[in-house]
Structure 1
Amino acid sequence: MIDLRRLHVLRAVAHYGTVTAAARALHFTPSAASQQIRQLARDLGVDLLEPQGRGIRLTPAAESLLAHADAIQARWDQAELDLRADHSEPAGPLRVSGFPVAVSVLLAPMAVRLRERHPRLTVGIQELGVTESFDLLFEGEIDLSVVEATPYNPPMSDVRYDQQPLLDDPFDLVVPADHPLAGRERADLADAAHEDWIAPVPDSPCRPHVLSACGAAGFTPSVVHHALDWNVTAHLVAHRLGVALIPRLAHLTPHLPIARVRCTGNPHRKLLTCTRGGAHERPAIAAALEALRELAPSAVV
């Protein structure tokens, strides 16, 4: 008989890449996590980890086991859902997360709407980055997240998660108010090819979108300044230190001497809802997803 707790430790090692990181996420000591995996290996009569340089890697037997482990976790979640099927009214705690814009524009209004519709449901919101959201979903610490689609996300085929499109958030070209492009209804990014640019910091999920949009317009932007917050970016533009692409969902400080110009080609980022595999059927999560789908069309104007 496989001990599911030990199997969860192995899944965490695969997810985080090291025993130490998995142990930290599960609130184990590294030695305790290692002991759990050694005992699982003894139970199964196979090696699960092997040395690779200074680290470790999963053996082919472990990789095969993990394919079944993800399916087992999904079935276990479904079994729990079936046992609670008689409680169809959303109730209890609902833990959600998102990046700053998603919290402001989508999750906060969603929480208000759910409070009005389902008084027995308590929504808790965390502001988290994309990677942290996937980690906490994996650990079962949150129930639902709104994330940006990036090249670094788990693939849509990853059965551990249910990722669904929510909305497309267009990028606007943001220029100083007296810039030659400021009066246009729509601008071609190639017209800003020779400008100084303000781009998201290198590890921002939006940076690949900005660089890709410029590349599609036929140029590599000359990035002079980097910013993490969209309002910081807008202030740099207002001081004529460069131009930038900023998502339309980002609410900027009012009355700045800047202009937002729509772009030809409609460069955009995709926002996704993400739950653990199969969890979208839970009443509380289903209610939250319904509210988000209602809010999404009016979020982007």
Structure 2
Amino acid sequence: MLNGRMIDPRLRTLRVLREEGTVTATAEVLHLTPSTVSQQLRGLARDLGVRLLEADGRRVRLTPAAYTVLDHTDTLFAQWERARAEIAAHRRGVSGEVRFAAVSSALAALVVPAAARLRAEHPGLAVRMAEQESEKVFALLLAHRTDIAVLIPTSDGPPPDDPRFDQRPLLDEPQDLLVPPAHPLAGDGTAELAAAARDPWIGSPDRADQHHLMLTACAAAGFTPRIAHHANEWFAVSALVAAGFGVALVPRLAPLPPDDEVVRVPLRGNPVPSRRIITCVRRGSDRQAPVAHGLAALREAAAHHTA
């Protein structure tokens, strides 16, 4: 796959810088040194004859000229993705590589089954998978380090009409209340979220999308959760709940220990807390056979959770 190498790579660096905000973070995403990133951007500015960056404390700020360059760059990259799809249509069979990046629960429940399906149906297509938090995947897409992201949208993410990306709903995933077996709600079948208002809660501040969803759901239920402990990985959250240190809000797809250790309590009410899982690809790339087949396999995997 050419991965945009027909386009000046310095333009890709500028796109990632817009997403990341600092030269250091841009270098990390692109697997370059900060000095290389700075050198590329200085050279691009010199060749274009305009200033692209201005100092802004420890960060850098894009100039109006840089945003003009980026507007045209976004169009150029989207058109190149479509061109690659049309060129690939002249080849026989499905080959190449498709790379997935996904949040952990979606990786386990959606991407792995999708990858297994691709392996069985298209043996000539190499599949790569990586766990990534939602806020990281956009820069990885721009850096051509992944092709399909499966993520939880947040208020800080790009809007749906962002010209760089094609974002599509994949699955609306209910949230469950996680309690220890001895909890009063453990045997009720379903519960209102407000019934756990007086319990201590397990928060996940480093898992920003899930933590924000918990706070929003509790606020909608009429209370602010008393967060007693912090944990991010589901096995750690489950261990705290199992030992009686609090309750937690967990997505339906999250892998958990057996029911004799913790109990999922489906929530009822209006609205029932849920999170939307979406796919995101570089705009125009969905026409390329590896990406198109990868998206189709994801939709098939998601259908098993909505049937």
**Is the structural similarity TM-score above 0.5?**
yes
Distance, in Å, in 1 between the alignment partners of 2:235 and 2:39 is: 48
1:281 maps to which of 278, 287, 290: 287
Match of 1:35? Answer: 39
Distance, in Å, in 2 between the alignment partners of 1:188 and 1:13 is: 44
Compared CA separation, residues 245 and 157, structure 1 to 2 (3 A):
same
Distance, in Å, in 2 between the alignment partners of 1:233 and 1:6 is: 43
SS in structure 1 of the partner of residue 258 of structure 2: coil
Deviating more after overlay: 212-221 vs 253-262: 253-262
Deviation at 1:4, TM superposition (A): 2.4
1:181 equivalenced with 2:185 (yes/no): yes
Deviation at 1:136, TM superposition (A): 1.6
- Residues 239-281 of structure 1 show CA distances to partners (whole Å, capped at 9, x for unaligned) of 1211111111112111434322111221011111111111111
Whether the 8 Å CA contact 1:199–1:223 is kept in 2: the answer is: yes
Match of 1:268? Answer: 274
2:149 maps to which of 122, 145, 148: 145
Equivalent position amino acid for 1:145 in 2: A
Match of 1:129? Answer: 133
Q: Where do 5+ consecutive residues of structure 2 fail to align?
A: 1-6
Distance, in Å, in 2 between the alignment partners of 1:125 and 1:191 is: 39
Compared CA separation, residues 38 and 190, structure 1 to 2 (3 A):
same
Whether the 8 Å CA contact 2:85–2:289 is kept in 1: the answer is: no
Whether the 8 Å CA contact 1:89–1:283 is kept in 2: the answer is: no
SS in structure 2 of the partner of residue 43 of structure 1: helix
Distance, in Å, in 2 between the alignment partners of 1:162 and 1:257 is: 41
Whether the 8 Å CA contact 1:106–1:299 is kept in 2: the answer is: no
Equivalent position amino acid for 1:270 in 2: R
1:245 equivalenced with 2:229 (yes/no): no
Structure 1 length as normaliser, TM-score? 0.92
Distance, in Å, in 1 between the alignment partners of 2:24 and 2:263 is: 49
Match of 2:81? Answer: 77
Distance, in Å, in 1 between the alignment partners of 2:120 and 2:58 is: 54
Whether the 8 Å CA contact 2:12–2:142 is kept in 1: the answer is: no
Deviation at 1:92, TM superposition (A): 2.0
Compared CA separation, residues 250 and 300, structure 1 to 2 (3 A):
farther
Whether the 8 Å CA contact 1:248–1:300 is kept in 2: the answer is: no
Match of 2:62? Answer: 58
Root mean square deviation of aligned Cα: 2.0
Compared CA separation, residues 79 and 4, structure 1 to 2 (3 A):
same
Deviating more after overlay: 258-267 vs 221-230: 258-267
Compared CA separation, residues 6 and 259, structure 1 to 2 (3 A):
closer
Match of 2:4? Answer: none
Distance, in Å, in 2 between the alignment partners of 1:27 and 1:258 is: 41
Distance, in Å, in 2 between the alignment partners of 1:164 and 1:296 is: 13
Distance, in Å, in 1 between the alignment partners of 2:264 and 2:58 is: 51
Percent identical pairs in the alignment equals 44
| 1:1-301 equivalent positions in 2, closer than 5 A | 4-87=8-91, 89-264=93-268, 265-299=271-305
Q: Where do 5+ consecutive residues of structure 1 fail to align?
A: none
Aligned length: 299
Distance, in Å, in 2 between the alignment partners of 1:142 and 1:30 is: 21
Distance, in Å, in 2 between the alignment partners of 1:290 and 1:160 is: 21
Deviation at 1:55, TM superposition (A): 3.6
Whether the 8 Å CA contact 1:204–1:228 is kept in 2: the answer is: no
Distance, in Å, in 1 between the alignment partners of 2:255 and 2:28 is: 36
Distance, in Å, in 1 between the alignment partners of 2:27 and 2:128 is: 26
Deviation at 1:209, TM superposition (A): 0.4
